[in-house]
Structure 1
């Protein structure tokens, strides 16, 4: 207790609610802790993903080219937003670690400095706006996509800037165990977004540019709420200009953990952009079919990501408090939960694949049965390698993030795209006569191989953890 008082000599304290959650996370029944933190996050990820799927459906109402353009340009957006997402993931884990260790003064300093860094990154992104067409051509974007989607992409960049702050805010609330607040806020945001988009597309018969406008409006609402919640009060989890510190002990741990995550996410999005470019060999609509397949499969993987994010936070907090055995126990429970969830969703999605894909095969031009069959063909392979294997992989990622092994997450995900995905698709295109199903096969194989690799990595990491923290286990 004396050490904790010394750590917090500047007066940064926790609210009573945060104190209770910290005690619960460090000492409560571990199954209950995992479900309490992760279920709202999983539901949030699911709803957020469904909102992206409905976006795609509304884009498909415009035309098949429009939905393919949205699928393609979203990967370029992901490359840019990876900076904010990486900062949120890596930095929030260091905030969670300080929270678990009882260093509340450091919590406030890192939170305030992180938000300032996001502001700097946002200014850089806004400077890219005049160069959008050139940027799209440098990235190899097809001309028909540039013609359809340039305005869409420009407006999306504004949404990306807002999401920098929103992702950080969500990560901070996750560190505090405020999963239900995240869920409530995002429910409202999604309803708002879908209502506006539906009005634009079905009421006004607008193009895909208005989908991006709806995204900006909804992200702006969450941004306002984030600013309000982060600036209200004076506890450790509120922003303060006085607490901004660009010092090594504050910034370096966050950046060291975040940088590999940023590189990983940029490389992953870049790799998916390469895959989309290679998929054009089977026709432009194949890009749309792959994007839709990924979206349907993402119903499962996004829920699993909710458990990954929450689990990483729990592991990090317990690691900070020296509860290493409990941190490892969280990982093993996550493996069971993630694999079970993946199996259940694999069965459900494959049973209802026909009705689900039918929704995407309708546009203003009518029902396109060939497009639906292409989506189903790709999805069958995609889901086989995605649902269960990626669930296990998500549990391993939670372990690696929780123990600060972000360089290993970079290694695994780099291999996923640049070793297991792009070379295999190249081989299928050059040495087989397979058609558009090749993109589904490569998703299946790359995801399974990535999971095998991550399990091997987890084996050695756990062995080293038990060796390094022998006295704490």
Structure 2
């Protein structure tokens, strides 16, 4: 990451990461497709209504894993083997604790949270059941994500992809078996997802355990070390808070969609799942930017960090225009994978119209904070993202939407909030970059 050409390495790093993110989304997509096809639109709405809540509950800890990624990348580039090993064991222990906490939070607070979101009575029972089973697998989910973050920090994005391919196939087969053969509905797809997460968790932990490098995992050495937790939290906690608060605004948006009834909920569920594929693609490039920036920051190559960000912006915009354009123009056909109900497809297209062609804006919006986190600056980008994204959506939902009630008006808030946030992040990046470049670096000739 610290020498040679950049774009080809970014692509080599990002493509497996994009595919990994897509496979993780397919866990939920297969759930949605199977229940939509074989258990009806109410079951489809039930599973979809949990997405925003699940993200709120989990993204704080997933954001913290970014701190582990940045710290591990920095130590790995600087060849600090002792610090690298202690970071790995602290991160994995932190993941286990986080997973157990989320297990109890999800089981005991699922129904109350769904009621606060105004989930209709005809789906809330199934939604609660799905969430409770899903959260039973949180320790697996957290351990996989933190383990994969460590592998990404050292440049390995291919093995996590292979692990997800294995678990994704298991998930798809179990979905069909439990729903069609045993008629378990939402419970069946939740059980399948938890099982698949357990498999991916076991594979990534085994990979770390068998490594002979500085990031080898030894279960006897698992321990929380305060100095590393502090550094992980310094970068990861603001990222987690930002993601959680943004998903809170998405939960408010979900509540607004819920007010249109189960047909609109089902359409939003299908469209939002497609929307997620765009997100994981641009987010993978953001993670590449963060990892490359962190390693180059660790060895003092400031100019190379600039080139990393510039190349990431080019790559992100190109990928988003291709994927977003394809998703818009082929939207009706793709939505038919989830449901054959024309009213549900129509609602889904209302969502996609304002979020696909403009999604390159979201990519730019996320890359700037990603570069800043790679340099160890995470708090100010968090505040600006919350002000620009969440603030705009709250004003939109409570100020504009009540007077113009339609899905079209509701989802225009996405590109508007992205543009406002980009302006704020550009200003922040300018001042941080100037501060970093004032420090002595190393020759890059």
Q: Which residue of 2 aligns with 1:370?
A: 343
Q: Distance in 1 between matches of 2:237 and 2:227?
A: 16
Q: Distance in 2 between matches of 1:244 and 1:148?
A: 38
8 Å Cα contact 1:75/1:272 also seen in 2: yes
Is 1:444 the counterpart of 2:420 in the alignment?
A: no
Task: Return the match for 1:72 from 49, 53, 56.
Answer: 49
Within-5 A mapping of 1:262-411: 262-362=240-340, 368-386=341-359, 388-411=360-383
Task: Return the match for 1:173 from 147, 151, 155.
Answer: 151
Note the aligned Cα RMSD (angstroms): 2.3
C-alpha spacing 1:58/1:187, structure 2 compared with 1 (3 Å): same
Q: Which residue of 1 aligns with 2:5?
A: 29
Task: Return the match for 1:38 from 8, 14, 24.
Answer: 14
Q: What whole-Å deviation, never above 9, does each CA across 1:241-271 have from its counterpart, x for those lacking one?
A: 5655544432211122121122122212222
Runs of 4 or more above 6 Å deviation? 470-473
Q: Which residue of 2 aligns with 1:4?
A: none
C-alpha spacing 1:469/1:357, structure 2 compared with 1 (3 Å): farther
Q: Distance in 2 between matches of 1:187 and 1:403?
A: 32
Q: What whole-Å deviation, never above 9, does each CA across 1:54-82 have from its counterpart, x for those lacking one?
A: 32222322222222222221222222222
Q: What whole-Å deviation, never above 9, does each CA across 1:136-182 have from its counterpart, x for those lacking one?
A: 44565443332122221111102222111000011111112111111
Give the total of aligned pairs: 442
**Structure (1 or 2) with the larger CA radius of gyration:** 1
Within-5 A mapping of 1:45-444: 45-61=21-37, 62-128=39-105, 129-130=107-108, 132-137=110-115, 140-240=118-218, 243-244=221-222, 246-362=224-340, 368-386=341-359, 388-432=360-404, 434-444=405-415
Q: What whole-Å deviation, never above 9, does each CA across 1:395-432 have from its counterpart, x for those lacking one?
A: 22321221122213322431344211121122232232
Q: What whole-Å deviation, never above 9, does each CA across 1:275-315 have from its counterpart, x for those lacking one?
A: 11122232233233233222223323321211111221111
Task: Return the match for 1:463 from 434, 439, 443.
Answer: 434
C-alpha spacing 1:426/1:99, structure 2 compared with 1 (3 Å): same
8 Å Cα contact 1:290/1:439 also seen in 2: no
Q: Which residue of 2 aligns with 1:13?
A: none
C-alpha spacing 1:250/1:440, structure 2 compared with 1 (3 Å): closer
Unaligned runs of at least 5 residues, structure 1 = 1-24, 363-367
- Aligned-residue offset at 1:209: 1.3
Q: Distance in 2 between matches of 1:130 and 1:393?
A: 35
8 Å Cα contact 1:312/1:402 also seen in 2: yes
TM-score, normalization by structure 2? 0.92
Q: Distance in 1 between matches of 2:365 and 2:219?
A: 39
